[in-house]
Structure 1
């Protein structure tokens, strides 16, 4: 089951004209961050809620003199790049089907490649997953990301293009969770399953042996992929397979090769976009909302 592109693009409806009208300069961006992070903030010294901008500084002060810096503990801390460029970078992320490589950020923002690379990964930090435990119907599956597996030239020579395992949990009518794992052994995957899926829920998997003990905690259904069985009534992992295609297409189209060290960041990014596909809020604003985390 592939991701509905029309549905996905629907969540992206926020034009460059909308962006330029809403965030014309750095001051507006700073005010936005302050209002998002300190909307209900009460001064710890005088218990007032009224703050004003400090002239010449990126901070706000209460009448009693207490100051707050809305950029502290955010991705913008210690950055010399203008806030509007940061916001524009987030806008570019929100408009891309497959992600934004550092070279594209460099070209669009007019910054160095090193700065563009850092901005991209800081934005991906905002997209980290936080899936809470719940009950329902879930699909479980694992996939491999990376170069094609090749036969070893010798038993002593490691395969330089060994694929990286990624494990996924998709809740029907809900969100997907995906994590880079060191292996696909039972206890490795089980740690995530027990953490996310409440006891007694229904789970759908293929017939891989790693899932054999799930019936001890869950109502476990399987499809036999080796016999070309992919759907049996409501038993399927096709939705999760669709997410795997979404993830791999993004990596192939935009980044080509991603190292194991940074793969989780790209997985988090694709999970964020997939889970936002039904949102009535533009993806750009969903990214901005993460500034409060």
Structure 2
């Protein structure tokens, strides 16, 4: 769906409300009080009512839009711009497109959408052959005298990120040939270089039957305890170009994207920007369906899934 089709399909607030109701009902509306899934729509109230306990659920309740005072159409337009742009859009540019007076409001809106992207991808684990490595992303720092800044590993200017790529070759059923394309990516900001945090990252994102490839970092010594096989190779140009090819391509592309659009990113928000990058990268072949998939990510009741 391009912007012209978007404007035709969602010309006003009511069209967005109708679409959101349809999407929520397809995904099943869940009662917050009794967890019941039998709901019927009260047209006069614009709400669902639970058939079991009578509890009412508003259109935004349980979604990422809950407690937001912005019109639904503003949300839809923001989602459209964030999905139609291949690399991304800055809050300043989106503010200009929306004609909104407050930058902070638009900035917060975009981060809530990025949070939904991250929560959606968190529902899926990586499996098969997986590449695992770490990358260092530049972040904004406070005004510190340059001589007091560390260099290299542990620098205040950089944030350590675990990068994971499911690189299992896909076989074409018609030709029998295997594709070299990577399927899914994940990136997680790390707070330390300790093995314990790497272990938690592996447990939270890899299936036990996975085969993991990495370099010989001392932080990776326990990975084999959580997967079927862990293959370690000495870090070098050949390893970067072959064994860990996809994670390094992802790191390079992410750095180029973030630097080109956002310039300076505070460390505590880096995860949100990486979530957006991975969400769009993992759905790079969705085309016009990407907007529809993001709508589902926004309305999904993660409070219920995480219980």
Inter-partner Cα distance in structure 2 for 1:75 and 1:213: 36
After superposition, give the CA deviation of every residue in 1:96-137 in whole Å (9 maximum; x if it has no partner): 122221101110001121211111111112101315445411
Cα displacement (A) at 1:85? 1.7
The equivalent of 2:234 in structure 1 is 224
Gaps of 5+ in 2: 169-182, 302-307
CA contact (8 A) 1:98 1:253 kept: no
> Do 1:246 and 1:270's aligned partners in 2 also have CA atoms closer than 8 Å?
no
Runs of 4+ in structure 1 deviating by more than 6 angstroms, as ranges, are none
Report the alpha carbon displacement of residue 263 of structure 1 after superposing the two structures with TM. 0.7
Match of 2:105 in 1: 115
Out of 122, 131, 137, the position equivalent to 2:129 is 137
Q: What is the SS of the residue equivalent to 1:37?
A: helix
Question: What does residue 8 of structure 1 align with?
Answer: none
Alignment partner, residue 6 of structure 1: none
CA contact (8 A) 1:142 1:184 kept: no
Number of equivalenced pairs: 268
Please say if 1:269 is aligned against 2:302. no
Query: Judging changes above 3 Å, is the alpha-carbon distance between structure 1 residues 135 and 26 closer, same or farther for their aligned structure 2 residues?
Result: same
Q: String of CA shifts for 1:250-274, please: whole Å, max 9, x gaps.
A: 2101111111111111111111011
Which residue is 2:186 aligned to? 177
Q: Secondary structure at the match of 1:230?
A: helix
Aligned with 1:182: secondary structure? coil
CA RMSD, Structure 1 to Structure 2 (Å): 3.1
Secondary structure in structure 1 of the residue aligned to 2:296: helix
Q: Which residue of 1 aligns with 2:24?
A: 37
Judge conservation of contact 2:163–2:187 (CA < 8 Å) in 1. Answer: yes
The question of whether the paired residues in 2 share the 8 Å contact of 1:223 and 1:229 is answered with no
Query: Structure 2 residue aligned with 1:286, among 290, 293, 302?
Result: 293
Could you tell me how far apart the structure 2 residues matched to 1:223 and 1:250 are? 29
Q: Which residue of 1 aligns with 2:74?
A: 85
Please give the alpha-carbon distance, in whole angstroms, between the structure 2 residues aligned to 1:61 and 1:202. Answer: 47
Aligned to 1:236, the other structure's residue is in SS state coil
d(CA) in 1 for partners of 2:40, 2:140:
59
Structure 1 runs not aligned, ≥5 long: 1-13
Corresponding position: 1:242 with 2:249: yes
1:165 and 2:181 aligned: no
Asked if the contact 2:131/2:166 (under 8 Å) is kept, the reply is yes
> What is the CA deviation profile of residues 147-199 of structure 1, one whole-angstrom value per residue up to 9, with x for unaligned ones?
599xx965xx3448520000022112432121101122222111111333233
